[in-house]
Chain A
Amino acid sequence: MGQPGSWIERAGVGFVRSCAVAAVTLAIPAVWAAAVALGMWWGPGNPWSWLLPVVLVGTGTLALARPVCRAVRLLVERWTGAVVPAGYRTPGPVSRMSTGYWWNGYGYERSRRDAVMDQSWRIRWSDPATWRDLRFTGIAPFTAGLAAAVPPAAVVVAVLGLLRPEPVARVLGALAAAAAVAVSPYAWRSVEPVAVRFLGPSAAMLLAQRVDELTAQRADVTVAQAAEIRRIERDLHDGAQAGLVALGLSLATAEKLMETDPERARALMRAARAGAASSLAELRDLVRGINPPLLNERGLVDAVRALALNSPLDVAVTADGPFRLEPPIESAVYFGIAELLTNATKHARATSVRIALGHSGTGIVVEVRDDGRGGAVAGGVPAGGGAPTGGRAAAGGGVPAGGGAVSDDGGGIAGLRRRLAVFDGTLELTSPVGGPTCAIMVVPCESL
């Protein structure tokens, strides 16, 4: 810090950044200024002299607003690491109807090009992000733009002053140069708070996004639920129901044979007993898949302990205190742990696993760590890292389960994400190739 070398470097970097911020944020006011200058040059005498400048200001502002905002976002992210989500509306698919017309979600057009253009204009016009961008182009020049313009302006003053022969001007020039060096490292920084405050999605946009997310989740959950119910129906139909029918048949036959052939009747009854036992075993497995009885009888921690006991791996379970969760959350967390344990056994070829259940201030945190070979991929989406938008990232990562290079275990992980996302829970997976794999599930819940 105290070294003169690093100081000069910081001033240099700051100066370049200030220039960039000033150039980007002042681009639109420059257009305005050019338009006004044009109007004045054309002369107040001409009754139509206002027309061209007004058109210029309007189209210039509209055309430049989005590129300027994109540039500001890019610069802020590159320099400070602060991610300002854009929140632009994404266009839906444009598809050709059987009538030959193209449907873009709003109306029919004769050609694909028209449909896409119509769609993009409609989205542009109705997207609240467009109005937010316009507001930003009005605010930024007078805040971050002015501040960032100080160093370049000071340099201009310094050059002009130092080139003049008068001593007063030279002193002023020297002072301006000193000021430019002193201010440079800081002048560009105001762009970050301004961008975060005015360029992020508004409350209404966040709400709209959340609604989209929830709609997608609801559709997902409904589909998953229906599939689950179908599976249960099929299992009951092919298993227990069929078993009971066979049982009834055997008993009916045995009843008939009782007098004539008691030996065969006895054999049939023995077979019926075995059939009843195997039907019961099937029902037991089915019940375990729906909701493990132990979860009901003992709660999450003991159910996880039982999972550990039944695992072929060396599994250690630690829990800080008892957990009384809402049953659906408990079930989701339980099946999540079961899924991770299965992955550790099947894919990671681990020999030991540590499961830690704990509280965070706002929910339950479960860490599952194995000593396997790692390399788990979560549905083609790189897991973790998206800390500021954790909930959304998890939900978004979970929704498109198909497509792309989804590895074998990725499907399970995507399903797990989806199940947790219903409760705004997240799964963070770190699994470098060569291992170890560490998965952290966090589910917010009040009832801890």
Chain B
Amino acid sequence: MRIVVAEDLYLLRDGLVRLVEAYGHQVVATAATGPETLDALLTWRPDVAVVDVRMPPTQSDEGLQAALAARREVPGLPVLILSQHVEQLYARELLADGAGGIGYFLKESVFDGDQFVDALERVAAGGTAMDPAVIGALVSSAPSNRRLDRLTGRESEVLGLMAEGLSNQAIAQRLFLSDSAIGKYTTSMFGKLGLTDDENGNRRVQAVLAYLHKP
């Protein structure tokens, strides 16, 4: 895959580049500021970009803004956001366009290279991958999410893992269930959420969106 890495701290940027290159991917450009990031994303149109939230010049959410701006220009441009902290607010903003191709992780998720690169590949393929911390915060709050109230415990568990970006097969492994059982859960879940059958991948994104939004 052709990857753009945007991160202002040299050590981290270098480490990220080495990590993805170790997995046989190619880093086509790196960026260290918000404007540079936007520029690199639009010039190189990478298969996926790894973007830090906080970057110079303002040290606010420059990276996030650059990613959102690039996705407005190129809908669905796959971006994986890395941050020292995860916020539901940011997750919602990233998912709001419903186009998929979004990942949002804590920086320490790179500790597990296999999983990180796996998530990167899923995002590049147009999927959604969220840090368990985002999902966990959501499960503990959002008591008033009425549409989700109708889901059974197992169904919302499956939905949570789906939001983390796991495939049906991976979910089945995690929950010690068969693939067909997961298929059954997802179908009934999609039904309860009112997501009609169009394209499977898109429906997964929609389900995650429903999961992340309070009514």
Chain A contact residues, CB within 8 Å of chain B: 273, 276-277, 280-281, 284, 287-288, 293-294, 296-298, 302, 305-306, 309-312, 314
A310–B85 CB distance below 8 A: no
Tell which of B95-103, B140-148, B163-171 binds the partner: B140-148
**CB-nearest residue of chain B relative to A285?**
B85
Q: List 19 A-B contacts (CB under 8 A).
A: A277-B111, A280-B106, A280-B107, A280-B108, A284-B84, A284-B85, A288-B85, A294-B85, A294-B89, A296-B59, A296-B60, A297-B54, A297-B60, A302-B89, A305-B89, A306-B88, A306-B89, A310-B141, A311-B141
In the assembly, what is the distance between CA of A310 and CA of B139, in Å? Answer: 10
Query: Contacts A273-B112, A296-B60 known; A309 to B84 CB distance under 8 Å?
Result: no
Given contacts A306-B87, A309-B141, A311-B141, contact A297 B107 (CB under 8 A): no
Does B74 make an interface contact (CB < 8 A)?
no
Which of B87, B112, B143 has the most CB atoms of chain A within a 10 A radius of its CB?
B87
Residues of chain B lying within 8 A (CB to CB) of residue A276:
108, 111
Residue among B61, B89, B140, B143 with max Cβ neighbours from chain A (10 Å): B89
The secondary structure that dominates the A interface is helix
- Which among A281, A288, A309, A311 has the greatest number of chain B C-beta atoms within 10 A? A309
- By a CB distance below 8 angstroms, the chain B residues around A284 are 84-85
Pick the contact of A314 from B54, B61, B85, B144 — CB < 8 Å? Answer: B144
* A residues less than 8 Å from B60 (CB atoms): 296-298
Shortest C-beta distance, B34 to chain A (Å), equals 12
Q: Is B205 an interface residue when CB atoms closer than 8 A count as contact?
A: no
Given A302-B89, A306-B89, A314-B144; A273-B111 close (CB under 8 Å): yes
Shortest B149–chain A CB gap in Å is: 14
B53:A297 contact, CB within 8 angstroms: yes
Q: Which residues of B contact A (CB under 8 A)?
A: 53-54, 59-61, 64, 84-85, 87-89, 106-108, 111-112, 137, 140-141, 143-144, 214
**A residues within 8 A CB of B85?**
284, 287-288, 293-294
Chain A residues in 8 Å Cβ range of B87:
294, 306, 309
- Residues of chain A contacted by B108 (CB below 8 angstroms): 276-277, 280-281
B105, chain A: closest CB distance, angstroms = 12
Min Cβ gap A271→B in Å is 12
Bound: A309/B203 CA distance, A: 24
Q: Which of B54, B107, B108, B140 has the most CB of A within 10 A?
A: B108
CB within 8 A of A297: which of B61, B106, B144? B61
Q: In the assembled complex, how far is the CB of residue B210 from the closest CB belonging to chain A, in whole angstroms?
A: 16
With both beta carbons as reference points, the residue of chain A lying nearest to B137 in the complex is identified as: A310
Q: Contact between B84 and A293 (Cβ–Cβ < 8 Å)?
A: yes
Q: What is the CA–CA distance of A297 and B86 in the complex, to the nearest angstrom? A: 12
Which residue on chain B has the smallest CB distance to residue A352?
B144
In the complex, how many angstroms separate the beta carbon of B191 from the nearest chain A beta carbon? 27
Q: Which residues of chain B come closer than 8 Å to A298, judged between CB atoms? A: 60-61, 89
Chain B residue nearest in CB terms to A302: B89
- Inter-subunit contact A312/B143 (CB<8 Å): yes
Contact of A293 among B54, B137, B144 (CB under 8 A): B54
A382 to B23, CA, bound (A): 65
Query: What is the chain B residue whose CB lies nearest that of A283?
Result: B84
Cβ contacts under 8 Å, A287 to chain B: 84-85
The residue on A at minimum CB distance from B112 is A273
Q: Are A310 and B88 in contact (CB under 8 A)?
A: yes
Nearest CB of chain B from residue A269's CB, rounded to whole Å: 10
Smallest CB–CB gap between A95 and chain B, Å? Answer: 51
Contacts of A281 on B, CB cut-off 8 Å? 108
Distance A178 CA – B156 CA, assembled complex (angstroms): 88
Chain A residue at minimal CB-CB distance from B89:
A306
Distance A294 CA – B89 CA, assembled complex (angstroms): 10
Cβ contacts under 8 Å, A273 to chain B: 111-112
Q: How far is the CB of A293 from chain B (nearest CB, A)?
A: 5
Inter-chain CA distance A280–B83, complex, in Å, is 12
Interfacial chain B residues near A310, Cβ < 8 Å: 88, 137, 141
Contacts of B88 in A (CB 8 A): 306, 309-310
Taking A284-B85, A297-B61 as known contacts, 12 extra A-B pairs with beta carbons closer than 8 A to each other, sorted by chain A number, are: A276-B111, A293-B54, A293-B84, A294-B87, A294-B89, A296-B54, A305-B89, A306-B87, A306-B89, A309-B214, A311-B141, A312-B140
9 A-B pairs with the lowest CB-CB distances in the bound complex, closest first = A297-B61, A297-B60, A309-B88, A306-B89, A277-B108, A273-B111, A280-B108, A314-B144, A293-B85
List residues of chain A with CB within 8 A of the CB of B64. 297
A311 to B214, CA, bound (A): 12
Chain B residues whose C-beta falls within 8 Å of the C-beta of A294 in the assembled complex: 85, 87, 89
B61-A312 in contact (CB<8A): no
Q: In the complex, what residue of chain A is closest to B53 when comparing beta carbons?
A: A297
Contacts of B53 in A (CB 8 A): 297
**Complex alpha-carbon distance, A288 and B107, angstroms:** 16
